[in-house]
Amino acid sequence: MEAVIRKGGLLELPCSILSAIGLCEGRRVALTVKDGEIHVKPVKGLTKQLIGSIKLDDQKLIEEIIESDD
């Protein structure tokens, strides 16, 4: 599949590519270059980054944290 780089360096990705990696309009992505290739991956929300790093026993608090990240 091909795409065109537009004025200002804007690259428009086809919807099929975006949905294949779980992206939609407005989502933040991380860009890296390795061996001359551009790699794009979704940036995890703060809640997803913290999952597993803190032990929480309060299920209601966990649900509130997840809802506030959306």
Average pLDDT of the residues of the chain: 81
Answer yes or no: are the C-beta atoms of 22 and 33 closer than 8 Å: no
Answer yes or no: are the C-beta atoms of 47 and 53 closer than 8 Å: no
Residue spans of alpha helices (H) in the chain: 15-20, 46-50, 59-69
Decide if pLDDT at 67 tops 60: yes
Residue with tokens 């209601």: 60
pLDDT of residue 38: 92
48's CB contacts (< 8 A; 6+ apart) are 69
pLDDT of residue 53: 67
Higher-confidence residue: 18 or 62? 18
Q: Is the pTM of this model over 0.75?
A: no
Q: What are the structural domains of the chain?
A: 5-69 (2.10.260)
- pLDDT tens, position by position, 14-38: 889 888 988 888 888 889 999 999 9
